[in-house]
Amino acid sequence: MVRPVTWDVLRDVVLARVPADGRRVVLVDGAPPTRPGDLADALVGPLRASGRAVARVRADDFLRPASVRLEHGRHDPDAYLEDRLDVGALVREVLRPFAASGRYLPSLWDAVADRATRARPVQAPPGAVLVLDGDLLLGRGLPADLTVHLAVRPATLARRLPEEERWMLPAFARYAAEVGPEDVADVVARVDDPAHPALVERPPVV
């Protein structure tokens, strides 16, 4: 079932699914035109208003150096899917230490300057929520307590991607076929119409 909602309702649905105890990780996944960072940012204020500290992290701050991620050229969709994100660093420097002790690295690599950000570790208090956003994040073994996927049809994605970025389309097609993000995410919203998201409601598991 698909239920039309507003972005505020979608935000509240996600917030209601965040476990109330302990340090928790919320992952918001979506292709760039779906603007997963906007939904991730929208979670921050309400979480803080409820008394939770928030650690806001962006996957794009954990990309591999250009020499690795662009080894096969700037327009290789397989490399975009497989080589762009430094999954090991994200797990090692952020997600595992955050869950264990609350200490995490907020950023690692400045992809524009192609150099380390030199960020220092941050200590999050007990009960904090780490909100991570990015694209092609599911199916990579990233430990998270709640996963959200913003879905669009392939034709919609092709239309909304700038022409110079449409070389990425095969990467998102592989992601859909191999990972099935709409099947594995805890919360799924279809955002083909960015002004009118629709919440995918699955029947309860018997």
| pLDDT tens figures, 93-145 | 999 999 999 999 999 998 888 899 999 999 999 999 999 999 999 999 999 99
For residue 13, CA distances in Å to 51, 69, 130, 144, 200 come to 18, 35, 17, 17, 11
Neighbours of 134 (CB within 10 A): 24
User: Is the confidence at residue 71, as pLDDT, over 90?
Assistant: no
Residue ranges of alpha helices (H) inside 86-180 are 87-90, 96-101, 154-160, 169-178
- Looking at the chain, the whole-number percentage of residues with pLDDT higher than 90 is 86
Q: Is 79 helix (H, G, I), strand (E, B) or coil?
A: helix
**Residue in 112, 84, 58, 64 with CA at minimum distance from that of residue 172:** 84
Q: Which residues are paired to 2 by β-bridges?
A: 200
- The arithmetic mean of pLDDT across residues 66-92, rounded, is 88
> For residues 179, 11, 144 and 155, what is the CA-based torsion angle, rounded to 10 degrees?
10
Is there a contact between 62 and 119 (Cβ–Cβ < 8 Å)?
A: no
What's the pTM?
0.94
Amino acid sitting at position 20: A
Residue of 61 and 110 predicted with greater confidence: 61
Q: How many CB atoms lie within 10 A of CB 141?
A: 9
Please, what's the largest Cα pairwise distance for the chain?
Answer: 51
Q: What is the separation of C-alpha 118 from the centre of its chain, rounded to a whole number of angstroms?
A: 23
The yes-or-no verdict on residue 204 having pLDDT over 90 is no
Query: Residue range 74-96: average pLDDT?
Result: 93
pLDDT given at position 201: 87
Written as six digits, the tokens of 60 are 């794009």
Does the pLDDT at position 203 exceed 70? no
Which tens digits make up the pLDDT trace of 141-199? 999 999 999 999 999 999 999 999 999 999 999 999 999 999 999 999 999 999 999 99
